[in-house]
Amino acid sequence: MIIVTKQFSRCVLFQIKVMDVNGANVNTLLSESNNIAYPKALGVLDSRLYYLDPSYEKIERVDLPKGDNPKLLIDNEADLKTFTIFRKRPSELQDL
């Protein structure tokens, strides 16, 4: 399970955290040290987390469960609002 949290101090700090489905083993996956400011849209496909950060004008993906191997997919794109990730179903791939 993936959650996005806010921490209030002098400024708002966003984090993306992961945990077991029962709420145990909470770990911070991404934080300001990973250059996220306002993660707005999240998507999971296979073993990767995709996220959009309109403050940095980027869409990036990281490997789960540790958040390593970041790959910048879109950078310096103004007015990012959301994204959709998809993959063809195996039956659709066989028809090609």
Helix (H) or strand (E) holding 90: helix 90-94
Of 25, 34, 28, 22, nearest to 7 (Cα)?
Answer: 28
Is 0.85 topped by the overall pTM?
no
Of 85, 32, 73, nearest to 55 (Cα)?
Answer: 32
pLDDT at 21: 84
pLDDT digits (tens, 9 = 90+) for 19-74: 888 888 888 888 888 888 888 888 888 889 998 888 888 889 999 888 899 999 88
Q: Which CATH architecture has domain 2-94?
A: Beta Barrel (2.40)
pLDDT bracket for residue 2 (50, 70, 90): low
Domain boundaries, the chain: 2-94
Number of C-beta neighbours around residue 51 at 10 A: 23
pLDDT at 69: 93
